[in-house]
Amino acid sequence: VALASAGQAVTLWGRNAGTMARMRDTREAPRLPGIALPREITISAEIETVSQAQTLLLAVPMQTLSALLHDISAPLNGQRLVACCKGIDLGTGTGPSRVIAEAKPQAVPAVLTGPSFAADIARGLPTALTLACADAEIGHALQHQLSTPSLRLYRSTDVAGAELGGALKNVMAIACGACIGAGLGDSARAALMTRGFAEMTRFAVHYGAQPETLAGLSGLGDLALTCTSELSRNYRFGQALGRGESFDANVTVEGAATARAVTAIAQKRSLSLPISTAVAALVEQRATVAEVLQDLLSRPLKEE
């Protein structure tokens, strides 16, 4: 919507022919009610209409990215594949850029991430994101191609930092939601966000990320948004856990799988990730909020 409103030709592809036909008729997306889809957007359920594009934005949940790429038979030679998903693939323990590189080795992977609710962007509200691409020249081109007057992209070549910040902030949002849902208070949430940020940085740096990237939009920026807004699904899922309520299983909650993925990696690599480990235990119903809180508070006292 943002790009089409700024005059770019955009084709929107989705796998469900019926849904896409209804979207063509109503010019509205079921997942973005109340937002008119500009006439400039071509809506299609035929993958061939997009698989030749120079730039493809891949906006699917992380755990489905690999399947989507394998459904596209074309090699996407030299095309720019911009992952918009935030998470770590449970099957391989890798982020979106690696999943792209494995599935389409001749394509150029990039990542678009940062604090942004889809509805805010579609309404034209001011938003700033990180566009990360290991190829600096292509990253520069993508930054200019995908920025609009209200959507401001900063560029980076630190792909690991950008994608791990986006993946891990969802885990921290679940923790913060659980904290508020269980009535533990705003002070406890501030502590979780701060120690969560330390944990995100430690994990990402282990994978070669720059700490400055974690302190940017894709890390701290998205952490601030997602840990404090009830518009976040990860946060609301955490709130439900904290209140002992059920949560709609059809809603995409990226942090749940990511908590499990990073906990498995942490165990293999002897990394200390106490908050992510606690969230994985909550998600897998191996522990209650009271139990994980007790574990977190009884850890040895240490230097900050």
Ligand X SMILES: NC(=O)C1=CN([C@@H]2O[C@H](COP(=O)(O)OP(=O)(O)OC[C@H]3O[C@@H](n4cnc5c(N)ncnc54)[C@H](OP(=O)(O)O)[C@@H]3O)[C@@H](O)[C@H]2O)C=CC1
Binding mask 84-113 for ligand 13P (x = CB under 6 A): --x---------------------------
Taking the C-alpha atoms of residue 289 and residue 262, their distance in angstroms, rounded to an integer, is 19
252 contacts ligand X (rule: CB under 6 A): yes
Which residue bears the tokens 């034209």?
124
Q: Is 85 in the site for ligand X (CB under 6 A)?
A: yes
**Distance between CA 75 and CA 31 in Å, rounded?**
30
Shortest spacing between CB 200 and ligand 13P, in angstroms: 14
Contacts of 134 (CB under 8 A, 6+ apart): 97, 109, 157, 159
Q: Is 218 part of any known ligand binding site?
A: no
The answer to whether 233 is a known ligand-binding residue is: yes
The distance of closest approach from Cβ of residue 260 to ligand X in the complex, given in angstroms and rounded to an integer, is 15
Q: Which is nearer to ligand X, 46 or 186 (CB)?
A: 46
Catalytic annotation present for 104: no
Query: Taking the CB of residue 255, how many other CB atoms lie within 10 A of it?
Result: 31
Please tell me the number of Cα atoms within 13 Å of 170 on its side-chain side. 29
Smallest distance from ligand 13P to CB 233, Å? 4
In the block, tokens 């008729």 appear at: 25
Give me the residue whose beta carbon is nearest to ligand X: 85
Tokens 């923790």, residue located: 175
Exposure string of 216-227, with b = 16+ CB inside 10 Å and e = fewer, is: bbbbbbbbebbb
Q: Is 116 in the site for ligand 13P (CB under 6 A)?
A: yes
Active-site residue (options: 104, 169, 268, 302)? 169
Find the shortest distance in angstroms from Cβ 294 to ligand X: 30
Residues 160-219 that bind ligand 13P (CB under 6 A): 170, 173
Run of H or E including 58: strand 55-58
Binding mask 108-137 for ligand X (x = CB under 6 A): --------xxx-------------------
* Three-state secondary-structure class, residue 127: strand
Contacts of 193 (CB under 8 A, 6+ apart): 172, 176, 223, 224, 227
Q: Which does 38 bind (CB under 5 to 8 A by kind): ligand 13P, ligand X, none?
A: none
Catalytic amino acids?
169
Q: Which positions touch ligand X (CB under 6 A)?
A: 14-16, 19, 31, 59-62, 64, 67-68, 84-87, 116-118, 252, 254
Q: Which positions touch ligand 13P (CB under 6 A)?
A: 86, 115-117, 170, 173, 222, 225-226, 232-234, 254
